[in-house]
Amino acid sequence: MKKVALITGGTRGIGKQIALTLAENGYDIAINYRKENEEVNNTRKEIEEKNAKCFLVQGDVSKFEDCERFIKEIIAEYGRIDVLVNNAGITRDMLLMRMKKEDFEDVINVNLVGTFNVTKNVIPYMMKAREGRIINIASVVGISGNAGQTNYSASKAGIIGFTKSLAKEVASRNILVNAVAPGFIETSMTDILKDEIKEEIAKMIPLKRMGKTQDVANVVKFLSSEDSSYITGQVINIDGGMLM
Ligand SMILES: NC(=O)c1ccc[n+]([C@@H]2O[C@H](COP(=O)([O-])OP(=O)(O)OC[C@H]3O[C@@H](n4cnc5c(N)ncnc54)[C@H](O)[C@@H]3O)[C@@H](O)[C@H]2O)c1
């Protein structure tokens, strides 16, 4: 029986690339999405072309009841979840002086509370199986901070603390919990930046380029595999050397 990987917010960007890469590497895939749109069915087709199953579940990760329901749907379909990738995330960038309370709360609720909501509902199945991998998508700004991102940086720093604490709680059950901290990766999240800003960013990066979604997916593949069976509670930066 194939192992099953769940990727939240996995119909585009980094999450989609992770789903495709794990599908290529022998996993069946479950993808959570928030809203029905063309991306959802296109992603399913692309995954099925890799000879993997793709089960799609709708739900807003910031809502605990949604997560409770869609995890049960995945278990009813596949009977297991071996790898959880907490990828769903949003930004609402603004200097603190002008940031609305809702912009702070929304980002914390999706990125950090969402990671709790999904993990809390998946972990009993991993405990029972006495194995599992959880990979949380943090960000370098959760380590370095970034002007205009107090909400986002706080959510990602929170994810790092969550990762390390949970790693300690569940290590005895052979459940490994790690985070990756991408730098600037080319996706719709960074497409909103003007070209001049992207060029300035590339100049600051030792490897002199923005990252690709595949750069992140490769590390997630490693953290899902037997090759990383002695690694837990770590944060791996994927940022071309930007933060050292
Ligand atoms: N792109 C970057 O440079 C970069 C850098 C560091 C970290 N990240 C992180 O990587 C992850 C993926 O980002 P991306 O760049 O692919 O962005 P993206 O906007 O393309 O993808 C985010 C996905 O999350 C989903 N999502 C948002 N809110 C959700 C909710 N409430 N419930 C369920 N799904 C929801 C979106 O629908 C989308 O599919 C995020 O956690 C992001 O913070 C991205």
Q: What is the pLDDT of residues 43-92, one digit of tens each?
A: 999 999 999 999 999 999 999 999 999 999 999 999 999 999 999 999 99
Residue 112: which of 84, 86, 144 has the closest Cα?
A: 86
Cα(2) to centroid(ligand 1), Å:
27
pLDDT score of 64: 98
- Give the whole-angstrom CA distance, residue 110 versus residue 103: 11
User: What separation, in Å, do the N-terminal and C-terminal C-alpha atoms of the chain show?
Assistant: 41
Annotated catalytic, 152?
Answer: yes
- Find out whether the beta carbon of 56 lies less than 6 Å from any atom of ligand 1: no
In a 3-state reduction of DSSP, which class is residue 92? coil
Query: Is 176 a residue whose pLDDT tops 90?
Result: yes
Architecture of domain 4-238: 3-Layer(aba) Sandwich (3.40)
Q: What atom of ligand 1 comes closest to residue 152's alpha carbon?
A: 43
Ligand 1 pocket, residue 137 CB under 6 Å: yes
- Say if residues 29 and 5 touch (Cβ distance below 8 Å): yes
Q: Tell me, yes or no, if the pTM score tops 0.85.
A: yes
pLDDT at residue number 189: 80
11 in contact with ligand 1, CB cutoff 6 A: yes
Q: CA 238 from chain center: how many Å? A: 13
Can you tell me the mean pLDDT for 123-145? 98
List pLDDT tens digits, range 183-205.
Answer: 999 998 888 888 998 999 899 99
Residue with CA nearest ligand 1 atom 43:
89
What DSSP line would sit under 9-72, residue for residue? TTTSHHHHHHHHHHHHTT-EEEEEESS-SHHHHHHHHHHHTTT--EEEEE--TT-HHHHHHHHH
Domain ranges of the chain: 4-238
